[in-house]
Amino acid sequence: MSVAAVGAAAALVASVAGIGLISADATLARTLSATGAHRPVVRVSHFSHSSRDASASAATAADALTSIDPYAGTVQRGIIVRQLVDLEAPIVDQIVAMDDPAPWTTVIEGRLPAACLDGVRCEAILLSGTALDPAVVAAHPSGDMELTIVGRGLIDAAVPFGELDQRGPVGERIGGGTYQTGQARPAVLLVVGVDALAASPALDETGRTYVWTAPVDPNAIHPWTASGFVDAVDAVTSTLTGKDPAFSVASPTGLIGAELRRADAARGRLSLIGAFGVAILLAFAVFLALVVREDVAAETARLTAAGARRRDRLVFLVLEALVPALTGGILGWLVGGVTVGALAAWSGIDVGPIVVGALLAPGSIVAALAVLLAMVGAIVAASAPGLPRRGALRLVGSVGATAALLLGWQVAVSGSLGPAGLGSSLANPVLVLLPPVIAFLFALAFLQAWPPLLRALARRLRRGPLAIRLSLLSVSREPGRPAATLTLLTFSLGAIVFAVGWSASLRQGIDDAAAYRSGLDLRVTELGTGLSIARSVVPIERYEGLGDDLRRVPV
């Protein structure tokens, strides 16, 4: 039975480590699967006052970005030209270009433009949610440059340019806007061909920003590869900024780090639940050792009669506990690995890295060895004969009180266990050792309080049934098994209450986060307006037409 107890504890340690790793990977996958403006990308930008350094900056960026190839898709080049007042139409032109816009552009009307060859007379598509004045069929941003507008559409909010204002042109001058609303938005015109636009003689002395955007591949970023991705981005940043300070790099490394810290906090909570489970199994192992204590005492008596010394008897007791514990630990470790692999396969995650991370990570191995040593020590202490009961109780009490004092000292010094403390739980003795220490203190309290309580109860029942009185006296003389049973039940119920409370706390946290983000079930946001002498927003009374069962709260 001790083999089963130690095996279950080892499987629990491996399963907790594996579940934490699977949860962290799922958190990263959910975060990195965002689309639109929140799509994770690595974007390199370089500002230039003219077209003279276009080739050099393109070559430098292309060489540096090769280090992130294992973690990202194809790099999309782009160029954003400084806003120019149109020479003929009452609009402000914002010219952008990329080489292959088809995968990233949604055409609303018309078609995509043909590739620009000379950078002077090109086709363009208006990136706007609203239609342009039908009288405007071409843009004339500079010199003899003419951009024929052949369609209208919207481009991805992240690739390659980032967030462009695609609500439609407003205003006739840069930053001026209209008289009533103060809005100013350019007409964003997309041209096909980065090199042609960069070398356009009509824009030779016009400032521009070159961009290289690589969409991050969510399937390539995992907890075990995130550090490699961060190192690759750091290498890109140091290489580019070292060659030219005009380069800047934006990446989701901060977002990934924040999500991993959240995942580590969740793993810390799982470790706390695992520690409760280990404490329960430890109490069960002690109970089993107390059951066979008489058999062990008879065997040690035979060894003493055969001339065995005290050291030999101690070695016998240790091996008697270590051999089945080691066997159960190995079997439980393997069972935990199979369980983790099955969970990873069910979750659609690569099984190999999850199993290796759960079984061979230093933290997991240290936790498993600590559990094994605790099990062996508890079994030896519970089954060792010949020790006076009072002396054993003093020894256990001294050890438990010392451990509790040290753990309390750490809690007082480090403060409450926030996400950082939970995230370091695999190396945090509070989470790993506190539940087993409390289990020992509970068992010690039961051993001290149980016999006098039962004897007093037997005296109260002096006229009661003889069988009940004899059972009370028998248990008071050998309180070890009842104490282990009560400890086991106490921690089992405590773990159930903790799990239920934690689940309710998580659900309440999700509800609070959703309420904080939206306030109510639906949030309507109108386009921003500046100071105005005329009402430029929809009156709140207009929303009453949506129905009488809706609650409308203006903010």
Residue 526: inside a domain: no
458 shares its domain with 360: yes
328 shares its domain with 403: yes
Residue 25: inside a domain: no
211 shares its domain with 289: no
54 shares its domain with 198: yes
Residue 518 phi, psi (nearest 5): -115, -25
Residue 529: inside a domain: no
Q: HEC states along 469-525?
A: HHHHHHHHHCCHHHHHHHHHHHHHHHHHHHHHHHHHHHHHHHHHHHHHHHCCCCCCC
Helix axes 429-460, 480-518, angle to 10 degrees: 130
* pTM of structure: 0.71
Q: How confident is the model at residue 442 (pLDDT cuts 50, 70, 90)?
A: low
Helix axes 2-32, 253-291, angle to 10 degrees: 170
Cα–Cα–Cα angle for 497, 500, 503, rounded to 5 degrees: 145
Predicted pLDDT of residue 319: 85
Predicted pLDDT of residue 514: 65
Residues paired with residue 46 on neighbouring β-strands, in sequence order: 210, 247
Whether residue 395 has pLDDT greater than 60: no
94 shares its domain with 166: yes
Residue 257: inside a domain: no
Predicted pLDDT of residue 531: 43
DSSP symbol at 200 = -
Residue 444: inside a domain: yes
Residue 477: inside a domain: yes
Q: Structural domain of residue 393, as residue ranges?
A: 2-18+267-513
Whether residue 98 has pLDDT greater than 90: yes
Residue 190: inside a domain: yes
Q: How confident is the model at residue 162 (pLDDT cuts 50, 70, 90)?
A: confident
Name the 3-class secondary structure at 410.
helix
**In the block, residue with structure tokens 């790793």:** 21
Summarised one tens digit per residue, pLDDT across range 331-365 is 989 998 999 999 889 988 888 889 988 888 887 88
User: Where does a domain end: 476, 497, 513?
Assistant: 513
Predicted pLDDT of residue 178: 45
Name the strand (E) or helix (H) holding 384. Answer: none
80's CB contacts (< 8 A; 6+ apart) are 94, 95, 96, 161, 208, 209, 211
Q: How many domains does the chain have?
A: 2
49 shares its domain with 10: no
Q: Where are the alpha helices (DSSP H) in 33-81?
A: 54-64
13 shares its domain with 45: no
10 shares its domain with 70: no
**Which of the pair, 224 or 386, is modelled with greater confidence?**
224
Q: In angstroms, rounded to a whole number, what is the distance separating the alpha carbons of residues 486 and 444?
A: 11
195 shares its domain with 293: no
Whether residue 300 has pLDDT greater than 70: yes
383 shares its domain with 414: yes
Summarised one tens digit per residue, pLDDT across range 491-517 is 667 767 777 776 777 677 667 766 666
Predicted pLDDT of residue 95: 93
Whether residue 61 has pLDDT greater than 60: yes
Name the strand (E) or helix (H) holding 97. Answer: strand 92-98
Amino acid at 509: G
**Which of the pair, 135 or 249, is modelled with greater confidence?**
249
Q: In angstroms, rounded to a whole number, what is the distance separating the alpha carbons of residues 385 and 303?
A: 13
Name the strand (E) or helix (H) holding 313. Answer: helix 310-346
Summarised one tens digit per residue, pLDDT across range 456-488 is 777 777 777 767 766 766 666 666 666 666 666
62 shares its domain with 11: no
Q: In angstroms, rounded to a whole number, what is the distance separating the alpha carbons of residues 324 and 342?
A: 27
Residue 240: inside a domain: no
97 shares its domain with 204: yes
Count of CA atoms in the C-beta half-sphere (13 A) of 453: 9
